[in-house]
Amino acid sequence: MTRHMLTVFVVGAGLLLATANVLAHHSQSGEFDVNKPIEFTGTVKAVEWTNPHGYIQVEVKDANGKTTVYRAEIMAPNQLYRNGWRRDTLKLGTVVNFKGSRARSPESINVSGRLSLADGKPLFQGQAPAAPSN
């Protein structure tokens, strides 16, 4: 009986330790600085459906014609999929607006905030747009 209890304890402890990394998550303030606001308008260059967060690559041209690609953090693919979004819902070349915060690291092109379409409709808030009917 003691051996059985010891086995159950060791297996249980092992499972608990194995799940610790699954529960870990970075805080927004740890990666992004709210004191570094950024706004831009650009075109969707790529949509990255990666875990734990997806990213939208947005190509932005400044007044001098210099191009910068930002990676706007979005929800996890699982959340997007449950809300009706698919990998091809947001088309490449779509014009989007962004308002949010820069990454703390000056070398990073990651940003976090709100993406919206050119008409002001928020992206990734609620259901995906309905597919056109034929």
Q: Give 51-78 pLDDT, tens digit per residue.
A: 888 999 999 998 899 999 999 999 899 9
> Comparing 33 with 64, which gets the higher pLDDT?
64
Q: Where does the chain have alpha helices with state H?
A: 2-23, 28-31, 77-82
Instruction: With respect to residue 103, please indicate whether it lies within any of the assigned structural domains.
Output: yes
* Strand 32-48 versus strand 54-61 pairing type: antiparallel
Number of independent structural domains in the chain: 1
Cα 100 to chain centroid, rounded: 13
In sequence order, the β-bridge partners of residue 127 are none
pLDDT at residue 59 in the model? 97
Instruction: With respect to residue 8, please indicate whether it lies within any of the assigned structural domains.
Output: no
pLDDT band at 20 (very low <50, low <70, confident <90, very high): very low
Instruction: With respect to residue 49, please indicate whether it lies within any of the assigned structural domains.
Output: yes
Domain extent at residue 104: 28-117
Which of helix, strand or coil describes residue 134? coil
